[in-house]
Structure 1
Amino acid sequence: MIIETSSGPVRLAANLKWMFTEVPFAERFTAAAQAGFTAVEFASPYELAPTEVRRLLDDAGLAQILINTPAGAPGSRTASGAAYVPGARQKFRDGVLRALEYAAVLDARVVHVMAGIKPAEADAESAFATYVTNIAWAAEQARGTGVRLALEAINKRDQPGYGLASMETAAAVAEAVDPDVVGVLFDVYHAQVDRGNVIERFEQLHPLVAHVQIADNPGRGEPGTGEIAYERVLARIAQSGYAGWIGCEYAPVAGTREGLSWIERSIR
């Protein structure tokens, strides 16, 4: 879905984990297309064979924009990702290779490499060194595939102990490893909860931004249900020259279709 802001167009993709939950997952592709979306994202395609996800996309006429690397089993040390977990190197590598396999079939150009929770007993420097080493290895695997790896910092209110400290740290790692292959996932919701200054921080980081996601705060509902001035935020993103997609990773407050009225309000 392409919308025109006061500063130019932005492209919105529906996040099928969070949106259209009124229907079973396999039906959300058609629901998104009927609502006007031409692209989707969701964290985990791994419950289905890649060819089955490809069929769902093709039947609905949708492009897949982003997937995550696989998460570990609920309650495990890698439930939120393995990159930041010392001792989980093989699990991390297996997950990256699986994500790249799916990305190739789905033609997804962005893979979010989940950092994970730093184990309480792990030394902070050792865990960070593990993370950088893992991201460098992942970049080697992704190089030449057309996939860009995205690093996301999740706010510590929602995810206490999450390894990646900030978007700025993500940018530093991307720069150190290979900014042509590794970039920043700029989630406006997490940025606002983290420490605000959303527009200023986006402008500082936008050369490294591989993907953008949006939700309002508090509540993580659709734009317009909280404190973030999305009319200004989207206009500045468009003005920056960012040409990627913006994933709508929010929980609709009163129904997905009804909540899409935020789009018209945000582009005046």
Structure 2
Amino acid sequence: MPRFAANLSMLYNEHAFVDRFAAAAADGFDAVEYLFPYAVPAAELAARLQQQGLTQALFNAPPGNFDAGERGLACLPDRVDEFRRGFIDQALPYAAALGCQRVHVMAGLVPAGADRGALRDTYLDNLAWAAQQAAPHGVNVLIEPINTRDIPGFFLNRQDEAHAIVQAVGAPNLKVQFDLYHCQIVEGDLAMKIKQHLPTGRVGHFQIAGVPERHEPDLGEVHFPYLFSLLDSLGWDGFVGCEYRPRDTSPGGTSAGLGWLRAWRAAQAA
């Protein structure tokens, strides 16, 4: 049965970040994920996880200047040193402190006029290096195809591209972060792509959101209960990150919008 992880960058925004752990645990989540942990000392985050009995499912490696619009460094030839320092000095120490086995490495935006071949070469070199650094710590490095509407110009957009990159690198701890929201927008055919890619062992994490507005997964064009059942049938017992924006933004809106999760759990318990 999929294990759902609350994305604390998007959910429970009525609370200060460090208070979202308790809110997620109160709603029955047993795992959390978020974009970046680096604004909070790792020891404080680890204490929150322990207090609430939560598992840290995933977070992102440093992406460059996120507030200025940067969305990762891994494909950029002129930022290799910065990418590697951030991975070694920040991402891996936080993963160790939080007991987190998955770190997402954002590819980055394609610079105007850039040679995509050179970007791909840099991306593969950085991923091979990161996977090698992460392996002794039991950490998987994840890459994620992201749709061109939410992040125009992002280097990696399709599942087949991501899986080809993982195969080309050949590191057993390099995996694909399969975001069903992004995949539906770019290419669709979700069930068949799950059936194609999940048995390969190259998928390390799933994420969900309703399409097209990125609200709860019970609103929109994708029938998620069918996909959850499909994941069950294929033996997926990993995490499914709930990376969506609650449609009710008032205090308590995240909890009020979890009817889809309560219904799924009730159906599984019946």
TM-score by length of 1: 0.93
- Give the letter aligned to residue 84 of structure 1: C
Is contact 1:84-1:131 (8 Å) kept? yes
Is contact 2:211-2:219 (8 Å) kept? yes
Whether 1:27 aligns to 2:12 is no
Which residue in 2 is equivalent to 1:3?
none
Is contact 1:139-1:178 (8 Å) kept? no
For residue 5 of structure 2, the aligned residue among 3, 13, 27 is 13
Aligned length: 259
Is contact 2:18-2:48 (8 Å) kept? yes
Q: Where in structure 1 are there 5+ consecutive unaligned residues?
A: 1-8
Structure richer in helix, relative to its length: 2
Whether 1:213 aligns to 2:218 is no
1:222-261 to structure 2, matched below 5 A, reads 222-254=216-248, 255-261=253-259
* 1:111 partner SS: strand
* 2:136 partner SS: coil
Is contact 1:139-1:177 (8 Å) kept? no
Residue by residue over 1:11-54, the C-alpha shift from the partner in whole angstroms, topping out at 9 and shown as x without a partner, is 11111001111111111011011111111011100001111111
Identity of aligned residues (%): 40
Shift of 1:122: 1.4
Shift of 1:238: 1.2
Shift of 1:74: 3.9
Which residue in 2 is equivalent to 1:176?
168
Shift of 1:75: 6.0
* 1:65 partner SS: strand
Whether 1:94 aligns to 2:88 is no
Which residue in 2 is equivalent to 1:84?
75
Is contact 1:96-1:138 (8 Å) kept? yes
Whether 1:37 aligns to 2:29 is yes
CA distance in 2 between partners of 1:244 and 1:144 (Å)? 21
CA distance in 1 between partners of 2:27 and 2:87 (Å)? 32
Distance 1:240 1:250, change over 3 A: same
1:50-69 to structure 2, matched below 5 A, reads 50-69=42-61
Distance 1:75 1:105, change over 3 A: closer
Shift of 1:243: 2.1
CA distance in 2 between partners of 1:164 and 1:87 (Å)? 18
* 1:88 partner SS: helix
Residue by residue over 1:83-116, the C-alpha shift from the partner in whole angstroms, topping out at 9 and shown as x without a partner, is 0112000111012112111101100011101111
CA distance in 1 between partners of 2:22 and 2:67 (Å)? 33
Is contact 2:131-2:171 (8 Å) kept? no
1:173-212 to structure 2, matched below 5 A, reads 173-206=165-198, 207-212=201-206
Which residue in 1 is equivalent to 2:137?
145
Is contact 2:166-2:176 (8 Å) kept? yes
- Give the letter aligned to residue 80 of structure 1: R
* 1:144 partner SS: helix
For residue 110 of structure 1, the aligned residue among 77, 84, 102 is 102
- Give the letter aligned to residue 225 of structure 2: E
CA distance in 2 between partners of 1:158 and 1:181 (Å)? 27
- Give the letter aligned to residue 125 of structure 2: T
TM-score by length of 2: 0.92
- Give the letter aligned to residue 262 of structure 1: W
- Give the letter aligned to residue 244 of structure 2: Y
* 1:143 partner SS: helix
Is contact 2:180-2:207 (8 Å) kept? yes
For residue 130 of structure 1, the aligned residue among 122, 136, 139 is 122
Shift of 1:144: 2.2
Residue by residue over 1:140-181, the C-alpha shift from the partner in whole angstroms, topping out at 9 and shown as x without a partner, is 101221111111010011111101131211111111223521
4+ residue runs of structure 1 moved beyond 2 angstroms? Answer: 74-77, 264-268
Residue by residue over 1:39-80, the C-alpha shift from the partner in whole angstroms, topping out at 9 and shown as x without a partner, is 101110000111111112112221111010012124657x20
